Structure 1
Amino acid sequence: MSESKAFASKISIQGAYLGGENPLPIFRNQNRDRSVKFLNEFSVEQSNLVGYETGEIYLPHRWQDRYTRELTATEITTVVLENEHLRATFLPELGGRLYSLFDKENQHELLFTNPILQFANLSILNAWFSGGIEWNMGQYGHTFGTCSPVHIAKLIDEDGNEFIRIYDYERTRNFYWAVDCHLPTGAKNLRVHVRIINDRSEMTPMYWWTNIAVRETPKARVFGSTDEVIFVDQGFAGYGSSKLPYLPTVPDVDLSFPQNFPFANEYFFQNPKSMSSPWESILYEDGQVFYERSTAALRYKKMFCWGNHVGGRGWQEFLSDASSADFSPYLELQAGLAPTQLHGYQMPGNSAISFTQFFGSFTKIENQQLLNVKWSTAQEKISDQIEKVVPKDLLESENLRFEKLATQTPLEILYQGNSWGALEQMRREKSGEKIPAGFIFESARNVQISEWIELLETGNFPDSEVNETPSSWMVQKEWISLLENSRQNWLSALHIGNYYFEIGEKEIAINHWNQSLEYKSSPWALRNLAVAQREAGNLSHALDFYEEAINKFAPELHDAFYEEYLQLLITAEKYEQLWEIYTEIILIRIPSERIDLAAAKAALQLGHYQFLEQIFTRTFAQIREGESTLVAIWFEYQATLAAQRSGVVVDDQIRKQVRQSARPPKNIDFRMIES
């Protein structure tokens, strides 16, 4: 093969069905910043923007929370980029994830490639899967589009090598992004050039972390281009600064070996500003080194591991298929714009961020000795080796070359993603604006955007039936301005209210939702008014609105309405009422996992122990990373049984004894930290 080639293909895999979306608008956390605790003194730079804009935000996207753990034979569309040395396989239907980076010469996979496609509740929008290289952007967490389709186009460089561009328009922060992937002839590493464009006049919060899943083996050792790290304490409660390989989290233990962590943990390499080409790597027992090296913009690196404990191993198996010959534990090497993932980043208006990353591997038998020497000694040798395979001059020259190619117009669309970029292009053309160079969004009218096209073309937003799920949500201010100037109906008023609630103007939002009800009563406006009352602390009024929605529209209501309602009954400690509703629900539909979990909380309080025993035998698909709801119910149930056996009332002493002596079933134990 004389030149690199890019083409569409397919793979077959055992996979879960992603299912539908949660139809309800999930509003942002009005506490836009998170509080972060420091365990020791940090520099001014490291203290800047800590927690900034890291509060949960979802709209206009919908939660992807309807998947199960049922696997079937599934065919997935891929885009392949390859040269004579490497084959890179991307998943355009799933965020453009780099699924596999295969060394053709040595017939060896360089990444952790999951043998199945199993979704779990770990991303901003819930659904996430492990493996490969993921492009996280815009907001703290696994990115909005990680399980959604994106665009991939083919281009050709000045030497005739084909390369691909993964790209989209991100609707929450309203920016454009592109990941150009190159495998020029002769290259033994994948070269990726990222471009993020904020072409609006105002500053926007920004986030970028490249997540690289690699195999974790018993003696694998992690290195970075500095020993200065920010570490996370055992309870994920605060940040400290120290130097590798010994950290206060596990005293006197070399934590460059991730298997030495007895709990899930992470640390962030703090490379100095003067470092032009920071890197990170993992060394395996056979002398193989996998590395990532980048230009200076992606200055910070990270290691995350699940930890050598029951919960961590449980998560690894939960996310994959431990019975497969291709199964392996994994850890993540990551690279980002800010000191940690809880540090914010401000992107000025009318600006762009760009950087280049190299991903590759090499093997030297003599590297086996580096597993048994001081970390600093081994780090120097690994640094020299990486400099030989990715010289700084090569990285910089390739970065300049890629920058020139970044605005080139694609030749061919290999996969057409969602329609939101095309809709934004229509809106801009209508108002005399342009989209950035290098992006192509082919027009495709579909249900999601047809209403917005009608608003754009006629000035009016179409009406619809209240028992139909609104086709999409929209909180972009330019569209809200068009809505406010249109002829009003229940749905336009609902959308306008959503926008104002999202930006914190709650009274204005409530007025619009009440107007929506005046046009036509709907479960959507009633539910939103319930959310407003709930957030104001008025639980009884919130319950009234949920109950009105259920009483009026019950036969057609989605499970998501009941999930929120039952959770509020738990908060209000109305267990009898919850159990009565639950027993009615299961007569007419198969309840969702969240409904069953709410019922489990009520069952514990009401003594329905046979139901609990059944719950504890199940494996739930929707358990959140770090969530201990089910484990907490199990421990309280065991404490109750222990108290009954002793003929006493359960108290904190019994609870403590149970937690020290009993172990929850593996299928429900997903604690990040065991206590």
Structure 2
Amino acid sequence: MATTVRRAVLSLPAAPLGPDNPLPALRAPDGVHVLDERSQGGLPRDMARQIGYEPLRSLLPVQVRDGYGRERAERDFEAVVMENAHLRVTVLPGLGGRVHSLVHLPTGRELLYRNPVFQPANFALNGAWFSGGIEWNIGATGHTTLSCAPLHAALVPAPDGGVLVRLWEWERLRDLPFQVDLWLPEDSEFLYVGVRVRNPHERPAPVYWWSNTAVPEDPGTRVLAPADEAWHFGYERALRRIPVPDREGADRTYPGRSAYPADFFYEVREGERPWIASLDADGTGLAQTSTARLRGRKLFVWGAGEGGRRWQEWLTEPGSGGYAEIQAGLARTQLEHVRLEGGAEFSWLEAYGPLAADPAAVHGADWPAARGAASAALDAALPRERVEAAYEAWRGCADTEPGERLATGSGWGALEVLCGGHELPGTPFETAALGPEQEPWLELWRTGVFPAPRRVVPPGPTLVAAHWRDMLETAPADPLTEYHLGVAQWHAGDVAQAVRSWERGLALAPSRWPLLRCLAMAEALAGDPERAADGYAEAFADLAEESRGGEAWTAAESALGREAMTALLAAGRLPQARAVWDGLRPALREQGRFRLLAARLLAAEGHAGAARRVFEEGFELPDLREGEEVLAEVWSSLTNRPLPQAYDFRMSPPR
């Protein structure tokens, strides 16, 4: 059977993504994946160096995606289906290029954990993320900001004369273009994935890449990799070298035998073939392997505790079954970033397919024999030499210009290529992709003037790279330009100059709340909660007076209202916090974050019983952050009763 590639429509119960948060992300990313300082001593030198190399300090210029909810309705997603006699691969270009499904046709077996719903949750670096399938994580430690974003997609001639599906985009945290080429040869039981990350700049850039595969987690599932040791990282933020498979009396290669969510980064020996496999009680499942560039392998488990089980339910629907993640990355751990020199590139080939090994050996007590059985089965199914040959063949078409277009990504890459004059054969960022968000920046580049909007709207996204900051500094100093310049200066670490720019803009600004909010955030992060509270109260009052109908204004009111109430409560300004609550649109007061803030406000006002009733009546936080324990903290401040199961998302052992 010749390989076919066709467009399709995938229908799923789906929660709406909603609008992006219009407030620039001035606060540094949370520290969920930050290593405790006590763990840094004694690490291998190369690992320690890469952990310290350019960790992400800002989400800018990316906007936070927190407008999603949890009410699902049937929705159609554009899909691309690749199929030969062995595999059917379903790809979602509009959702980060996620491989949604990988079916082994002779047995009808789904090799991945295929989520039956689309439910965004707060796991990506910028918020919205969803579980299941194979995702391509680029940018910085964590799930990519492109998790729920469209990628460019097109058909390209494959090395064997067939066709491959190319996905590409411009990653904005590091300003790097990348491509993912999905190739299913006619007679192959493995899906090939060619990946390339390029640095078109003169300066070096930090690179992060982890391919993340969700696999079904059954009681008999075991994850195998060519390692006798692993680096354990949990939500207590400690990195420790541990033996594989046993730790503290339990075999941790069985995902269900861990109590709490944790990462296990396998120490794959130098020169060893890199691979990882998830095999069930019968010794069958999925294997992933690659060329040597992709050296890291990892197992992520949710654990058997209440919090881990609650998260699994939260990400899908009851009865869907659990999952674990097997991953492959550029470094040993996900705490590291790898230096890519200016003008250079990283590339590699991955392969995904079914694997069957002797179950007695796979599940035996002899770990070397268990991983040896899986390794031998992989060598028989897909010899290492075949992967190397496929990589060399793919490299010959990596620069081939795409043909028929299947999907369109963002216009940010087109803007950067146009303004930077970059040559990127194989991944065209065409001016046709430019849209309304890029228009003012295109005009700034062409004319030296940042245009004023035709009508009063919340400010659009800010660009913060050095060349854009230089353009803003030489543009006429109107209030909107000063606002964007301040954000770019803040990103560059020049806090004092950012504050001065915002203060200059404030003097003549017809719309004051965006600048007031930036100044209030600066006060909060400088450790002055009183001045921050004053600024937030003024900012929200100005927004409430100016706000109009429409999604953008509602999103601005929701985002600023959350920040303002939080700051006012922290400063003990209860009447002003109550004023913000009273000034909200009624529909916003029903949002989960505002229900929680209402409980906190009631408790601070001395109404603990009323605050408990907010919990007892029930509410959900759609944007509850990975590792966030605010629900448990507020509940424990109200009562000594056990935390209700519906609110138990705790991911770390009791302290």
- TM interval, shorter chain, is over 0.9
Which moves more between the two structures, 38-47 or 279-288?
A: 38-47
Decide which moves more: 236-245 or 310-319. Answer: 236-245
Aligned counterpart, 2:400: 408
Is 1:207–2:199 an aligned residue pair? no
C-alpha displacement of 1:51: 4.5
Question: Structure 1's 395 and 28: CA in aligned 2 closer, same or farther, altered over 3 A?
Answer: farther
Aligned CA distance change for structure 1 residues 163 and 525 (closer, same or farther; 3 Å): same
Instruction: State the alpha-carbon separation in 2 of the partners of residues 622 and 31 from structure 1.
Output: 14
Q: How many angstroms apart in 2 are the aligned matches of 1:10 and 1:466?
A: 37
Structure 2 counterparts to residues 121-160 of structure 1, below 5 A: 121-160=122-161
- Does the Cα contact within 8 Å between 1:154 and 1:411 map onto a contact in 2? yes
Contact persistence 2:91–2:101 (CA under 8 A): yes
Q: Secondary structure at the match of 1:134?
A: strand
Runs (4+) of structure 1 exceeding 6 A deviation are 30-33
Indicate the SS of the match to 2:103.
strand
Whether the 8 Å contact between 2:568 and 2:574 is mirrored in structure 1 is: yes
Question: Per the alignment, do residues 576 and 630 of structure 1 end up closer, same or farther by CA in structure 2, a change over 3 Å counting?
Answer: farther
Q: Distance in 2 between matches of 1:625 and 1:62?
A: 18
For 1:218-617, list aligned pairs within 5 A: 218-232=219-233, 236-247=236-247, 251-275=248-272, 277-323=273-319, 327-364=320-357, 366-428=358-420, 433-442=421-430, 443-464=432-453, 467-521=456-510, 522-555=512-545, 556=547, 558-585=557-584, 589-605=588-604, 606-616=606-616, 617=618
- Structure 1 window deviating more from structure 2 (442-451 vs 141-150): it is 442-451
The yes-or-no answer on 1:118 pairing with 2:111 is no
Q: How many angstroms apart in 2 are the aligned matches of 1:136 and 1:36?
A: 26
Report if the CA contact (8 A) 2:155-2:406 is conserved. yes
Alpha-carbon shift at residue 516 of structure 1 (Å): 1.4
Q: 1:81 to 1:580 in 2, by over 3 A?
A: same
Cα distance, 1:39 vs structure 2 = 8.4
Q: Which amino acid aligns with 1:559?
A: S
| Contact 1:34/1:51, CA 8 A, preserved across alignment | no
Distance 1:630 1:47, change over 3 A: same
Separation in structure 2 between the aligned mates of residue 130 and residue 388 of structure 1, nearest angstrom: 31
Q: Which amino acid aligns with 1:53?
A: E
Contact kept? 2:159, 2:396, Cα under 8 Å: no
Residue 331 and residue 125 in structure 1: after superposition, are their counterparts in 2 closer, same or farther (change >3 A)? same
Instruction: State the Cα distance separating 1:588 from its structure 2 match.
Output: 7.8
How far apart are 1:608 and its partner, in Å?
Answer: 4.2
What TM-score results when the alignment is normalised by the length of structure 2?
0.93
Aligned to 1:666: 645
1:267 offset after TM fit, Å?
Answer: 0.7
CA displacement, residues 454-477 of structure 1 (integer Å, 9 cap, x when unaligned): 223333211127841223221122
Alignment-mate amino acid for residue 607 of structure 2? G
Q: 1:346-370, CA deviations, whole angstroms, 9 ceiling, x for partnerless residues?
A: 2221110111111111335x42553
**Separation in 1 of the partners of 2:305 and 2:401?**
50
**SS of residue in 2 equivalent to 1:663:** coil
Query: Partner amino acid for 2:259?
Result: P
Cα deviation for residue 343 of structure 1 reads 2.1
Given that 2:28 and 2:57 are in contact with CA atoms closer than 8 Å, whether structure 1 keeps it comes out as yes
Determine if the alignment matches structure 1 residue 627 to structure 2 residue 628: yes
Return 5+ residue gaps in structure 1 as ranges.
640-661
1:480-515, Cα deviation, whole Å (9 max, x unpaired): 222323333211111111110111101111121122
Matching residue's letter, 2:612 = L
Distance 2:172 2:450 in 1: 20
Structure 1 match to 2:550: none
Per the alignment, in what secondary structure is the counterpart of residue 649 of structure 2? coil
**Which one is further off, 197-206 or 127-136?**
197-206
CA contact (8 A) 1:466 1:523 kept: no
The 8 Å contact of residues 559 and 591 in structure 1, kept in 2 or not, is answered as: no
Moved more, 419-428 or 134-143: 419-428
SS of equivalent to 2:639: helix
Superposed displacement of residue 18, structure 1: 0.3
Greater mean alpha carbon deviation, residues 155-164 or residues 123-132: 155-164
CA contact under 8 A between 2:162 and 2:185: conserved in structure 1?
yes
Amino acid at match of 2:438: I
* Partner Cα separation in structure 2 for residue 39 and residue 449 of structure 1: 42
Quick check: 1:168–1:178 contact (8 Å CA) kept in 2? yes
Give me the TM-score of the superposition, normalised by structure 1: 0.91
| Deviation string, structure 1 residues 392-439 (Cα, Å, up to 9, x no partner) | 1111111111111111111121101111112122213xxxx2331111
CA distance in 1 between partners of 2:162 and 2:301 (Å):
37
Per mean C-alpha deviation after superposition, the further-off stretch among 43-52 and 445-454 is: 43-52
Give the whole-Å Cα distance in 2 for the aligned partners of 1:194 and 1:574: 52
Q: How far is 1:263 from its partner?
A: 1.3
Alpha-carbon distance in structure 2 between the residues aligned to 1:37 and 1:573: 34
What's the CA shift for 1:591?
Answer: 4.9
- 8 Å CA contact 2:543–2:557 kept in 1: the answer is no
Query: Secondary structure, in 3 states, of the residue corresponding to 1:517?
Result: helix
Q: In the alignment, which residue of structure 2 is the partner of 1:643?
A: none
CA distance in 2, matches of 1:310, 1:588: 32
Structure 1 CA distance, aligned partners of 2:502 and 2:58? 21
- The Cα of 1:450 is off from its aligned counterpart by 1.3
